[in-house]
Amino acid sequence: MSYEQLNEGVKRMDENKQSLYIIIFISAIIVGLTTAWFIHLNNALNWDIHETMTAEEKTDFSCKALLPSIADCLERYGDKGLRDSEYMVESCLFSNKEEFIEGLPKSFSASIEKTLNEGVPESATDLKGVSVERYAVMYELPVATKDELDAKYEYYTYGCFINYYILKYEDGSFRFAVDIANT
């Protein structure tokens, strides 16, 4: 075996190594991007729960829900989404139906009574994944109009899907919940 043949063999090995390194590098990038995408997707499909709400957050979310009168009742919220966020806001827990009706604004009582008496519950979960019977509030609530809210909340009067719910727990306790979807 001559020196030229040996040198040619080493060059071919270097080229093969280089190709192998490029393949390994591209594979690592693909695996990394795929993993990051799956982590991002998982985070987007699960609620990011915020337990303690500041006074500003309570005001903000009650206005987004078009119910500024419930600000004092709010206890927690969650958000999720890839591009457009979806928010779920929940009131504090009321131990029974009477306390629930008394704890919310008086203007809600007729709608709540009618929903609980005539509504059909569905199985669902609250923000933390606890099983509940969820009643969709189908009767008129005193929602704010764009003239009653700051200009920054005008979008929520026409550009969002807002659903109001009553959550009933197995122990007979209740929460009021609002789902706000931007698209």
Q: What is the pLDDT of residue 26?
A: 81
| pLDDT confidence tier of residue 85, bands split at 50, 70 and 90 | confident
Q: How far apart are CA 123 and CA 102, in angstroms?
A: 25
Number of domain units in the chain: 2
pLDDT in tens, 154-175: 999 988 899 999 999 999 999 9
Q: What is the pLDDT of residue 36?
A: 76
Same domain, 135 and 88: yes
Average pLDDT, the chain: 88
Report the first-to-last Cα separation within the chain, whole angstroms.
Answer: 73
Same domain, 73 and 137: yes
Same domain, 53 and 40: no
Return the percentage of the chain with pLDDT > 90, whole number. Answer: 62
Domain of 66, in residue numbers: 48-181
Identity (one letter) of the amino acid at 166? I
Positive or negative CA dihedral for 149, 154, 158, 164?
negative
pLDDT in tens, 101-154: 999 999 999 999 999 999 999 999 999 999 999 999 988 899 999 899 999 999
**What number is the average pLDDT over the span 37-65?**
86
Same domain, 12 and 73: no
Same domain, 83 and 21: no
Same domain, 14 and 75: no
Contacts of 87 (CB under 8 A, 6+ apart): 61, 64, 77, 78, 79, 178, 179, 180, 181
Q: What is the pLDDT of residue 33?
A: 80
Q: What is the pLDDT of residue 173?
A: 98
Question: pTM of whole model > 0.75?
Answer: yes
Q: 70 and 63 in contact (C-beta within 8 Å)? A: no
Same domain, 160 and 133: yes
Q: 101 and 109 in contact (C-beta within 8 Å)? A: yes
Q: What is the pLDDT of residue 103?
A: 95
Q: How far apart are CA 100 and CA 177, in angstroms?
A: 12
Q: How far apart are CA 68 and CA 41, in angstroms?
A: 32
DSSP class of residue 94? Answer: B
